[in-house]
Structure 1
Amino acid sequence: MPTTPGKTDRPDRIELTEDELREITGYAADCASRALPLFEQSVAADARPREAVDAARAFADGGRRTQALRRCGFAAFRAAREAGSPVAADAARAASHAAGAAFLHPLADAHQVKHILGAAAHAARAAELAAAEDPAVAAAALAWARGRAPAAVTVVLGRLPVAPPGGGRVGGFIRELDSALRA
């Protein structure tokens, strides 16, 4: 029987099972992995984003949710801040979000939507930037992410308020995905 890290009757919290966390994290890792080559083309010697995606996959495949996983997510975030290009930065942010998805909180808070869809949105932005800001490239990446979203993504999104405003282009991608996956 799956554990329930977030099962509750409180109105400010949602039910969230470990199986759902694993499925969401696997989805985030799949989305982020599509952007890894964009980071590695720019910063080949920096393994932090790949390590974050690998750690997310390990959790999704049944591994433990550990401090090492959390550290990998933070390391990928630091790689994004240190990246020499916006493309590499968004690719590393996608990896950071993949590792962070394992730590989704069972809060009925719109900001939790970012934890579910952030990897997909940053991967789409990295692809768009790499293609000289071609919106068709971002649209294709978002369509891929919509088509690959497992049931847990749509089920858990349905327990949360809609994605919040703001966040620039990536925030727009999150809201677009959120809306499409709830439809």
Structure 2
Amino acid sequence: MDELRAVVRFASDCARELLPDFEAVAPADTRPREAIDAALMFADGAPRSNLQRTAAFASHRAAKGVSEETARLAALACGDAAAAAYLHPIAKASQVGHILRAAACAARVAELRTGTTDGDTVRILVDRAAPPLPEILRRYPAVSPGGSRVSQLMSALDSAIRNRN
């Protein structure tokens, strides 16, 4: 459980910074904030419950309700942070998304804000991935870069964090 809480904390820290992007577009929609709150409750020691699962789904639905990419990515990241509480030990590359998709969304939002793809944000996020994150990632197959920019960023994060000492 301690490792799972570390995964949720990392994902929550990445996603929480994106909340203003969503709330600027949909200030009355509290679902992404509720997802972060549910994730942090678990990360801070509360038992894992259906709250994290339902908050994750609700935040993902909120993402579908906005057209601005940064707002959509913010809601997805918040949902992913809550969903990280349900990381499975099954060694499938798809599980890496529970660990890194919120960070990949944060990296993409940073690119959209600055108009650059210089990799600085990826390096910053890699530095945040403190133990036991690298060890946990190494238990799963590496993800391959997909067609979307978020998938490519997730693959870059995965590779860089796995290779940390």
CA distance in 1 between counterparts of 2:45 and 2:19 reads 23
Deviations 1:40-97 (A, max 9, x none): 1111111111111111111011011111111100011001111131110011111011
Q: Tell me the equivalent position of 2:138.
A: 158
Show the counterpart of 2:8. Answer: 25
Larger radius of gyration: 1
Show structure 1 runs of 4+ deviating over 6 A: none
Aligned equivalents of 2:86 and 2:147: distance in 1?
21
Name the CA distance, whole Å, in 1 between partners of 2:113 and 2:81. Answer: 20
Q: Is the 8 A contact 1:29 1:98 kept in 2?
A: yes
Q: Does 1:39 align with 2:48?
A: no
> One-letter code of the match for 1:54?
D
Kindly provide the amino acid, as one letter, of the partner of residue 134 in structure 1: T
2:42 is aligned to 59
The equivalent residue for 1:134 is: 116
Q: What is the number of equivalent residue pairs in this alignment?
A: 163
Q: Aligned equivalents of 2:59 and 2:7: distance in 1?
A: 19
Q: Structure 2: how far apart are the matches of 1:49 and 1:114?
A: 18
What one-letter code is carried by the residue in structure 2 that aligns with 1:32?
Answer: A
Aligned residue number for residue 77 of structure 1:
60
Taking the aligned partners of 1:79 and 1:129, their CA distance within structure 2 comes to 20
Identity %: 46
Could you state the TM-score of these two structures normalised by the residue count of structure 1?
Answer: 0.85
Structure 2: give runs of 5+ residues left out of the alignment. none
In structure 1, the residue matched to 2:156 is 176
TM-superposed deviation, 1:126:
2.1
Superposed displacement of residue 166, structure 1: 1.5
Unaligned runs of 5+ residues in structure 1 are: 1-17
Q: By how many angstroms is 1:167 displaced? A: 4.6
TM-score (norm 2): 0.93
Q: Distance in 2 between matches of 1:97 and 1:57?
A: 12
